[in-house]
Amino acid sequence: MIKVLVVEDSPVVREFLVHILGSDPGIRVVGTANDGEDALEAVARERPDVITMDIHMPKLDGLEATRRIMETHPTPIVIVSGSADPREVATTFSAIEAGALAVLPRPPGIGDPAHEATARELVQTVKLMSEVKVVRRWPRTRREAPAPRATETGLASEPARVRVVAIGASTGGPPVLQTILAALPKDFPAPLLIVQHMAAGFIGGFVEWLAQSSSLPIHVATQGELMRPGHAYVAPDGFQMKVERGGKIALTGGEPENGLRPSVSCLFRSVAEVYGCDAVAGLLTGMGRDGAEELRLLKEKGAVTFVQDKDSSVVHGMPGEAIRLDAAMLVLPPEKIGAVLRNLASNRGGKERNS
């Protein structure tokens, strides 16, 4: 049985969530809390396997409660948000930064057409997150890693240039992407394409949250958009994101890959076809294997490939699979990925590919 603590200030919503979670035979709700202070006491008392967390609460809000729980009793936390406003959603990603694993929309009431699907997603996410072994959060301030010398990466003699950077991430990805993008200068010479797996409805707020700490303009990608150097493009909900010749983004309603839309595999495959050895691509923390085979394809075409290391990954599924397939040229912690991207861009940016 998975023990769950429900933290929510509204009595009606609290009981509603208890009903949804308790209806699954594999879940037992061991307690509830109506504010962050109650949550801290309940976590110490009940030692739940997973916590569902509201953000806007009296006394101690969900952001600060998440931060304190991850510092004292690290526990998988799922943010359940009742807001679709991008600015408010951006606030929920501060809780992800503090250590929460996922953010989901609050299921609508029974009878709503979306109730069954969103309730099922909540139950499935709680079950998946119960398997994640969380640790105490990284310190909130970290020194920026120095960029490795070109000879340290073994890439100094590569004659290609960096024309695009593609990155895929899932569980635990948002704060890692934040770290990487914050380390890149505003004159970074290539566009960045990002697929981050998350529940529908949160991409706009996610992009707004990323923009708060990055000097790069960050956009939700649009159909036919011409990619610009020094801009980051995040795949929108419900579409596969590809690149086309001429540097344009293509969004399609194609079938899910690895059960996902957007899929990292779809993006990486198109980058391999269009850019080949002129690309840099990487896989960050996340469950499953989305993008791993295609990262190997990129490596075979001469692209520079990297993955996040195991110690810093919340879940090492995607990067671990890529390592198993010998798809990664570099295995790096988050604070070094931005430094390596800067180094590659400066060392390869002025070199034209031999024809």
329: domain CATH number is: 3.40.50.180
| pLDDT one-digit tens code per residue, 65-117 | 999 999 999 999 999 988 766 667 777 888 898 899 999 999 999 899 999 99
The rounded distance, in Å, linking the Cα atoms of 131 and 129 is 5
Same domain for 216 and 74, yes or no, is no
Residue where a domain stops, chosen among 129, 161, 190: 129
Q: Domain for residue 247, yes or no?
A: yes
How many domains would you assign to the chain? 2
Q: Domain for residue 142, yes or no?
A: no
Q: Domain for residue 19, yes or no?
A: yes
Active site residues per annotation: 170, 197, 290
The parent domain of residue 98 ranges over: 2-129
- In the sheet that holds 77-81, the strands lie side by side as 27-33, 2-7, 50-53, 77-81, 102-105
Among the listed residues 69, 93, 75, the one whose alpha carbon sits nearest the alpha carbon of residue 83: 93
Residue where a domain stops, chosen among 63, 95, 129: 129
Q: Domain for residue 134, yes or no?
A: no
Same domain for 99 and 160, yes or no, is no
pLDDT for 346? 78
Residue 125 is part of a domain; what is its CATH number?
Answer: 3.40.50.2300
Same domain for 55 and 95, yes or no, is yes
pLDDT for 7? 97
Q: Domain for residue 145, yes or no?
A: no
- Host H or E run for residue 243: strand 240-244
Q: Domain for residue 141, yes or no?
A: no
Same domain for 155 and 227, yes or no, is yes
> Which pTM does this prediction carry?
0.88
The rounded distance, in Å, linking the Cα atoms of 201 and 105 is 8
Same domain for 156 and 97, yes or no, is no
The rounded distance, in Å, linking the Cα atoms of 186 and 190 is 10
For residue 245, give every residue at least 6 positions away whose Cβ sits within 8 Å of its Cβ, in sequence order, or none: 274
pLDDT for 134? 80
Radius of gyration for the chain, computed over Cα atoms and rounded to the nearest angstrom:
21
Structure tokens, 2: 């998975």
Extract the residue ranges of the chain whose pLDDT is less than 50.
138-159, 349-355
Same domain for 113 and 174, yes or no, is no
Same domain for 334 and 190, yes or no, is yes
Cα atoms in the Cβ-side hemisphere of radius 13 Å centred on 87: 0
Q: Domain for residue 355, yes or no?
A: no
Same domain for 197 and 162, yes or no, is yes
For residue 140, give every residue at least 6 positions away whose Cβ sits within 8 Å of its Cβ, in sequence order, or none: none
Q: Domain for residue 168, yes or no?
A: yes
| pLDDT one-digit tens code per residue, 203-216 | 999 999 999 999 99
